[in-house]
Amino acid sequence: MNPLILTIILMTVFLGTMIVMASSHWLMIWIGFEMNLLAIIPILMKKYNPRAMEASTKYFLTQATASMLLMMAIIINLMHSGQWTITKVFNPTASIIMTLALAMKLGLTPFHFWVPEVTQGISLTSGLILLTWQKLAPMSILYQISPSINLNILLTMAVLSILVGGWGGLNQTQLRKIMAYSSIAHMGWMAAILVYNPTLTMLNMLIYIMMTLTMFMLFIHSSSTTTLSLSHTWNKAPLITTLILITLLSMGGLPPLSGFMPKWMIIQELTKNSSIILPTLMAIMALLNLYFYMRLTYSTSLTMFPSTNNMKMKWQFETKQITLLPPLIIASSLLLPLTPMLSILD
Amino acid sequence: MMTYIVFILSVIFVIGFVGFSSKPSPIYGGLVLIVSGGVGCGIIMNFGGSFLGLMVFLIYLGGMLVVFGYTTAMATEQYPEVWVSNATVMGVFLLGLLMEVMLVLYVLKSEEVGVVFKFSSVGDWAIYDIGNSGVFSEEIMGVAALYRYGAWVVVVTGWSLLVGVLVILEVTRGD
């Protein structure tokens, strides 16, 4: 793409999310969402194959429907409260419709069907932007309306998302689909704690973004989009193999790594609110996630995966520059000792 | 009939929308959109917004729809689909018409319709007058306020339109 056009479009994606996060008028928030959607379509369609076009069309249709539902909820809110500020949604109907619209934008069950198909159809860098940056705007709106969200709907969607995210990822060998199902499951964890303690949602979002960023950077470096091609990284860059191991275990939520911090805090917060069965179920369903991360690490770093002899030596292309990899690795694996710092957030 | 004029116009509006949502060829969709646009303009004018109605006719029908019509005429096929050309389009159109007729009968019979909102009575669709001070038209003051107090909105929407054009050009460029 022409560099000037690419700059303008990336700037508009950034501006759209910033407008959503910084506005206090519902109409401006809706404009921000639309600007974001409009500007990310050419980024999703960077390669001109029919797969990418189909993925962009699916993304556009689902997000536009969600924006329309959001607009309807905004107007119902206006009708019943007479004002446009974002502090509290006064009408339960408007609140439910708004929650459903934002869940469609995030990819929570039962609106999760677009996430694997769109992520699979686009390039790795576009998938990175889709799964990290695009989650910021809807989550910030959910954070702001969190006092008035209907608890039953949100918790149902959250638990079903964790289940679908774990279960759906089990049979996948394509890395982008695996990351998509992982995103669905993590969004479920974030939505579950939103009503009880929204700060933990933001913490989970932060750590999830760092881990997903790391994983995508590692995939882009080894140019691998399937499990099979990822399993050849021991040949070209053994250090990348180790980093994949550590980051995947962190995504699965295993203790000494920083991915454990959000899950621990969320389970603690849920039990403080006297719900025991729910966090137990959530923790058990996170095991499904851990299973397919473990399978990736097994084929990549723990064993030399079987392959034909002429595939054992990878062609040595010019090494790609990975942006910011060392800080990302440290942030996605070593942050657990900083947990007591969360006490300043009260 | 004049008390029900807004109701009648809104029924024609919805039927027009059903007409193009049943997806005949875009040429026919544009045709129905002209009718719907004109009728919608009539609804706005009945609520006293004469300036806004003029805007709809000038900018929407006379600018945007004309450009749409020309581009569709360039890209149209030899036998464009009409509403009666295949069973799908006709079925959807008839279904939409049926739902609209049932809703109209329901509104006329019972005094209120409470689906998502509460429409209190058919009288609610009657004409209200705008609170005109009588000295100057309030719509022009609204436009002036848009450019003064709402300058940020104008900037954002102008930028969105520019980026929209760039995005469309980028997407249809192909390789």
A340 Cβ contact partners less than 8 Å away, ≥ 6 residues apart: none
pLDDT band at B143 (very low <50, low <70, confident <90, very high): confident
Could you give the CA distance from residue B23 to residue A35 in angstroms, rounded to a whole number? 27
Q: In whole numbers, what is the pLDDT of chain A averaged over residues?
A: 92
Q: What is the pLDDT of residue B131?
A: 58
Beta pairing partners, A226: A174
Select the residue of A39, A48, A56 nearest B163 (Cβ to Cβ): A39
Q: Which residues of A touch B116 (CB under 8 A)?
A: 76, 93
CB contact under 8 A, B170 and A42: yes
Could you give the CA distance from residue A311 to residue A163 in angstroms, rounded to a whole number? 36
Residue to test with chain B: of A2, A5, A10, most B Cβ within 10 A: A5
Q: How many domains does chain A have?
A: 1
Instruction: Say which residue the tokens 């025991």 belong to.
Output: A276
Q: What is the pLDDT of residue A184?
A: 96
Residue (of A83, A62, A65) closest to A74 by Cα position? A83
Tell me the mean pLDDT in the region B151-173.
91
Shortest Cα distance from A48 to chain B (angstroms)? 6
Minimal-distance CA residue of chain B relative to A94: B116
Tell me the mean pLDDT in the region A195-211.
94
What DSSP element (H or E) covers A70?
A: helix A50-81
Q: pTM for the complete prediction?
A: 0.83
What DSSP element (H or E) covers A8?
A: helix A3-22
Asked if the model's pLDDT at residue B175 lies above 70, the reply is no
Minimal-distance CA residue of chain A relative to B150: A28
Q: Which residues of B touch A42 (CB under 8 A)?
A: 167, 170-171
Q: How far is CA A247 from CA A118, A186, A236, A296, in A?
A: 24, 15, 19, 11
pLDDT band at A274 (very low <50, low <70, confident <90, very high): confident
Q: What is the pLDDT of residue B121?
A: 52
Q: Which residues of A touch B167 (CB under 8 A)?
A: 9, 38-39, 41-42
Q: What is the pLDDT of residue B122?
A: 52
Q: What is the pLDDT of residue A342?
A: 85
Asked if the model's pLDDT at residue A85 lies above 80, the reply is yes
Q: What sign for the dihedral angle of Cα A106, A112, A118, A123?
A: positive
pLDDT tens readout for residues A61-83: 999 999 999 999 999 999 888 88
pLDDT tens readout for residues B4-42: 788 889 899 999 999 999 988 899 999 999 999 999 999
Asked if the model's pLDDT at residue A56 lies above 70, the reply is yes
Tell me the mean pLDDT in the region A209-217.
94
Q: What is the pLDDT of residue A48?
A: 86
Instruction: Say which residue the tokens 């389970």 belong to.
Output: A267
Could you give the CA distance from residue A62 to residue A104 in angstroms, rounded to a whole number? 7
Tell me the mean pLDDT in the region B53-64.
90
Q: In whole numbers, what is the pLDDT of chain B averaged over residues?
A: 83
pLDDT tens readout for residues A104-154: 999 999 999 999 999 999 999 999 999 999 999 999 999 999 999 999 999
What DSSP element (H or E) covers A50?
A: helix A50-81
Residue (of A194, A207, A178, A214) closest to A325 by Cα position? A214
* From A237-246, A332-341, B134-143, the region with the lowest mean pLDDT: B134-143
Which two tokens mark A197? 């303690």
Beta pairing partners, B119: B113
Shortest Cα distance from A19 to chain B (angstroms)? 9
Highest mean pLDDT: which of A177-186, A229-238, B68-77? A177-186
Tell me the mean pLDDT in the region B156-174.
90
* From A312-316, B116-120, B168-172, the region with the lowest mean pLDDT: B116-120
Q: What is the pLDDT of residue B132?
A: 59
Q: What is the pLDDT of residue B158?
A: 93
Instruction: Say which residue the tokens 């399978």 belong to.
Output: A295
CB contact under 8 A, A15 and B159: yes
Asked if the model's pLDDT at residue A267 lies above 80, the reply is yes
Q: What is the pLDDT of residue B128?
A: 52
Q: B113 by DSSP, 3-state: which?
A: strand
Instruction: Say which residue the tokens 């439910």 belong to.
Output: A96
Task: Name the interface residues of A facing B (CB cutoff 8 Å).
Answer: 1, 5, 8-9, 12, 15, 19, 27-28, 31, 34-35, 38-39, 41-42, 45, 48, 56, 76, 79, 93
Minimal-distance CA residue of chain B relative to A10: B163
Radius of gyration of chain B (CA): 20
CB contact under 8 A, B171 and A42: yes
Q: What is the pLDDT of residue A2?
A: 85
Could you give the CA distance from residue B37 to residue B16 in angstroms, rounded to a whole number? 9
Q: What is the pLDDT of residue B108?
A: 80
Q: Which residues of B touch A76 (CB under 8 A)?
A: 116-117
Asked if the model's pLDDT at residue A257 lies above 90, the reply is yes
Could you give the CA distance from residue A230 to residue A236 in angstroms, rounded to a whole number? 11
pLDDT band at B124 (very low <50, low <70, confident <90, very high): low
**Residue B116 class from Cβ within 10 Å (0-12 exposed, 13-18 middle, 19+ buried)?**
exposed
Domain that holds residue A137: 3-344
Minimal-distance CA residue of chain A relative to B171: A42
Could you give the CA distance from residue A187 to residue A185 in angstroms, rounded to a whole number? 5
pLDDT tens readout for residues A151-184: 999 999 999 999 999 999 999 999 999 999 999 9
- Is B77 an interface residue toward A (CB < 8 Å)? no
pLDDT tens readout for residues B79-110: 888 888 888 899 999 999 999 999 888 878 87
Select the residue of B117, B153, B174 nearest A48 (Cβ to Cβ): B174
pLDDT band at B133 (very low <50, low <70, confident <90, very high): low
Q: What is the pLDDT of residue A159?
A: 96
